[in-house]
Structure 1
Amino acid sequence: MADDKPCFNALSYRKIIGSLQYLTLTRPDIAFAVNALSQHMHDPAPSHTVMLRKFIRYIKGTMEFGLPITRSNLLLRTYSDADWASDPVTRKSTSGFCSFLGDTLVSWTVKKQSTVSRSSTESEYRALALATADTIWLKKLLVDFRIAHSHPMDIYCDNTSTIALANNPVFHARTKHIEIDQ
């Protein structure tokens, strides 16, 4: 059986996982698998080394995949979304956002929210808040690199209720629980 004998020793396993973690910078499609395999770095079972070998075959067969890094303008824009109550067990939502500098994707996150949202609007608002914080950090990072970014940052959200909530300070009194939960 293939699980009886490991394909790699523990040291080789750790080195390969480290290289794969670096590769996730331009290959977000492999991030979940790399994360799952990296949870066994300290004591990989033979089955994990077999999975790693299969995963390396996948990488070899998909060398053309990845994020293009192109020279373009330096306009910063972010897209935010959430999947309300997507976890059937905990009923927690999943936030996701991605930021582009020109045509190049420079930051992305998909994360389960820490609390249960009462509505899709609240879930989207939490995702928008995280995306905004990340976008502000990116703008400050550009300043550290001495790259002037005088243009407004565009942050996109597909939920009209969330956009109305974010734009109207009258509603902010109703969102204090969201601020506390963050």
Structure 2
Amino acid sequence: MTNCKSVVTPTSVKSAKISSPSPDFHNPSLFRQLVGSLQYLTLTRPDITYAVNKVSQHMHQPSEKHFEDLKRILRYIHGSLHIGLPLYSNSITLTAYVDSDWDGEQSDRKSTSGYCMFFGNTLTSWSVKKQATVARSSTEAEY
């Protein structure tokens, strides 16, 4: 993939809510190794965190479509090697943001919640997680 064509986003802008079944990927071990490496890379590249989270949900039985999604992330990284986390020392203010996406995943109806924390202008901590249970309301999803 050293000579691949770069893309500007790690995931497709047009996401199909319901897609036709795709055949199983012939080398699930390779898929798992690549996803594991990308999970490690998310420590310094929060811009790929959502996309890596989505492909990692299919590690138990990856399909050809999931491998195409994985290759798209790699193509995005190839074209955005200059992106990273900036470190500034201009302020000592601690700021946190939290949000959730109630009923955002149509396949299992579970919400996704996340947070990010800044020390000054430097991102120091972040997390995105699919919630374990189905929230019955947006208030419950936020809680």
TM category, shorter: 0.5 to 0.7
Q: If the length of structure 2 is used for normalisation, what is the TM-score?
A: 0.57
Residue in structure 2 matched with residue 52 of structure 1 by the alignment: 70
Write the deviation string for residues 64-108 of structure 1: whole angstroms up to 9, x where unpaired.
22322x26378350233557x96589xxx9865432234421112
Q: What's the C-alpha RMSD, in Å, of the aligned pairs?
A: 3.9
The answer to which structure has the higher helix fraction is 1
Structure 2 residues without counterparts, runs of 5 or longer? 1-21
Gaps of 5+ in 1: 128-181
Q: For 2:137, which of 116, 129, 154 is the aligned residue?
A: 116
Alignment partner for residue 32 of structure 2, among 14, 18, 31?
14
Q: Does structure 1 conserve the Cα–Cα contact (< 8 Å) formed by 2:91 and 2:120?
A: yes
The amino acid across from 1:108 in the alignment is W
Report what 1:79 is aligned to. Answer: 96
What code does the residue aligned with 1:116 have? S
Using the aligned pairs only, state the percent identity: 46
Q: TM-score, normalised by structure 1?
A: 0.47
**Paired residue total:** 115
Highest RCO, 1 vs 2 (Cα 8 Å, sep ≥ 6): 2
Whose radius of gyration is greater, 1 or 2? 1
Partner Cα separation in structure 2 for residue 35 and residue 56 of structure 1: 14
Offset at 1:51?
2.0
Gap change, CA 1:46 and 1:110, over 3 Å in 2:
closer
